[in-house]
A and B are shown apart, each in its own frame.
Chain A
Amino acid sequence: MMITFGNVSRFYNNWPALESINLQVQPGEFLVVSGPSGAGKTTLFRHIWMGDLPSTGTVEVAGYRSDRIRKSDLPFLRRKLGIVFQDFRLLPERTVFDNVALPLQVAGTSPKAIRRRVFALLAEMELNHRRGSFPHELSGGEQQRVAIARAMVAHPVILLADEPTGNLDPEVSRMVIDLLIEINRSGTAVILATHDPRQVPAGTARFLYLERGRLVNPGVWDGYKQL
């Protein structure tokens, strides 16, 4: 298993942000986690990249267990993950190239290898002509593609996308979802958090629904049209 949640609960001042979550994600799987705002989608993601640890239960991600992980292990776990946020989180004072190169720089990759990989990825994502631009010079769709490129540049085994289309118009949203599907087809496990699961075509992913920190109807989603 790539990710295992074993009876995970997380409380903030006795308020349950996550409650009794049991979940397994296989390598190369596409998982869509939906639910209303405040349902716990982001908290679930934080537990995957271990920015937060469970109050009870354990999370295991790519061989790292939440109850055994040391602070010094966190960078190595996070290098196996790519994370995309709703608000892009691009560094405003850096160019597209530098933003995308960041995960490789912090991993100690040589400048030559960084250049090769970033150029190839930007070309693949049709962003090569924008490599010298700053984030504020890009459209929302372009910014999110840059954020996805940054998440993918170090060949992660899991891509976490937390409401990546939340700030985009429907047409650009569709392009971003298509891009995530394509990434998944190339073998990367993708976990997408969205309040609107209808964006993802049925049959391409496993759907989960979170409500008040609890997984409702876990398993293969077969009724998203009823939402």
Chain B
Amino acid sequence: MIHLIRNAIHEGLLNIRRKLGSFLITLLMVSLSFMVFDIFLIISWNLGTALKDEQENVGIEVFLSDNITEVQAVILADIVSGMEGVRSVYYVSPEEAEAVFRADLPEQADLLTLLGPQFHLPPSIQISLHPDYRTSEKVGALARTVSGMDGVEDIVYGKEYLPGLTRAVDILEKLVILAGLVLAVSLSLVVANTVRLAVARRALTVQIMSIVGAPGWFVKVPFLGEGLLTGVAGAAGSLLLTLAVSWMLSSSLPHDFLPGRWIMLVLILGASSGAAGSWIGMKSGIPKPRS
């Protein structure tokens, strides 16, 4: 059995070596198709990361009345921190707010001097949320609850951009899945066609093998191997090409390359497209032996 498996693999490699030129052309075609997908994945990955970073910063800023004492503000912050979805609460005193204003907007610091020593920025509470509570509905619900509490003057959270942001992340994830499926189907068809051509080219070999007593799998393994190799090597080749393009563009267009698990996803997609393509190609291509 070991010799039989070894012979089947050897047969597959021999077939590739005999038609190396056409195999390399197919490989290039698959690599280029995958490259489009890789580039799309990189754009999605970087856009998704940026959107997630934005979502990470989603929180609620609660401005308090000028006449609230620090003790009352701390009690209020304590009540808010016990609410569902709240990860942490931070009290910003008027003095700290002024220091932050001066640090963040130094060119407008004179404004505070002009308004005089009797002007104070209002104290506030910054609410950080658990990741699951960063959707527009949940943030809005929490903001409405907090806004009804005594001592609360105003509430600020990204109500304008938050729904769009949530939708954008959602659409992006769906687009990646859709593009992956479309690519998998089209690559399966490319590989199927290649395998069908390979089967037609080797029709005599297939017939003779069957007549001299080769088991069905022995005849099929070389074609399956060729399809798998085309898929995996094509996907790997596309990653190398994309890496080169990414490296060339990195200075003018800063971005991250795909993370490890996405690279694995591309390789698995390549392998499964290759295997599916081989199966389709063999199903319609392998002739019955004749005399």
Chain A residues proximal to chain B, CB less than 8 Å: 42, 45-46, 49, 51, 71-72, 74-79, 83, 85, 89, 91-93, 102-103, 105-111, 150, 154, 162
Contacts and interface: CB of A to CB of B under 8 A. Distances in A.
Nearest to B2: A108
A108 B291 contact: no
B108 interface: no
B213 A51 contact: no
Give the 10 A-B CB pairs with smallest separation, nearest first.
Answer: A108-B4, A106-B214, A79-B213, A78-B213, A103-B212, A75-B213, A108-B3, A105-B7, A75-B215, A51-B289
22 contacts: A42-B291, A49-B211, A51-B211, A75-B213, A75-B215, A77-B213, A79-B212, A83-B212, A83-B291, A89-B208, A91-B208, A92-B204, A93-B18, A106-B4, A106-B209, A106-B218, A107-B4, A108-B1, A108-B7, A109-B3, A110-B3, A150-B212
B72 interface: no
Most chain-B Cβ atoms within 10 A of its Cβ — which of A46, A83, A91, A106?
A106
A106 B212 contact: yes
B10 to A, nearest CB: 8
B213 A45 contact: no
Nearest to A153: B212
Nearest to B219: A106
B260 interface: no
Interface in B246-283: none
A76 B213 contact: yes
Interface residues of B, number: 24
B49 interface: no
Contacts of B289: 51
Contact of A102 (B212, B215, B291): B212
Q: Is the interface of B mostly helix, strand, loop or mixed?
A: helix
Given A51-B289, A89-B204, A106 B213 contact: yes
A107 B291 contact: no
A79 to B, nearest CB: 4
A75 to B, nearest CB: 4
A49 B3 CA distance: 25
Given A109-B3, A110-B3, A78 B208 contact: no
Interface of B: 1-4, 7, 11, 18, 204-205, 207-216, 218, 288-291
Contact of A103 (B213, B288, B291): B213
A133 B291 CA distance: 25
B223 to A, nearest CB: 15
B209 A85 contact: no
Contact of B208 (A46, A102, A108): A102
B197 to A, nearest CB: 16
Nearest to B290: A51
Given A79-B213, A83-B291, A106-B214, 5 more contacts: A83-B212, A102-B209, A106-B209, A106-B212, A107-B4
Contact of A46 (B3, B11, B205, B291): B291
Given A42-B291, A162-B291, A106 B211 contact: no
A200 to B, nearest CB: 21
A102 B1 CA distance: 16
A75 B213 CA distance: 4
A131 to B, nearest CB: 17
Contact of B7 (A76, A91, A106): A106
Contacts of A92: 204
Contacts of B211: 49, 51, 78, 83
A154 B211 CA distance: 13
A51 B208 CA distance: 12
Nearest to B208: A89
A35 to B, nearest CB: 16
Contacts of B208: 89, 91, 102
Nearest to A51: B289
A92 B7 CA distance: 19
Nearest to A113: B3
A55 to B, nearest CB: 17
Contacts of A103: 212-213
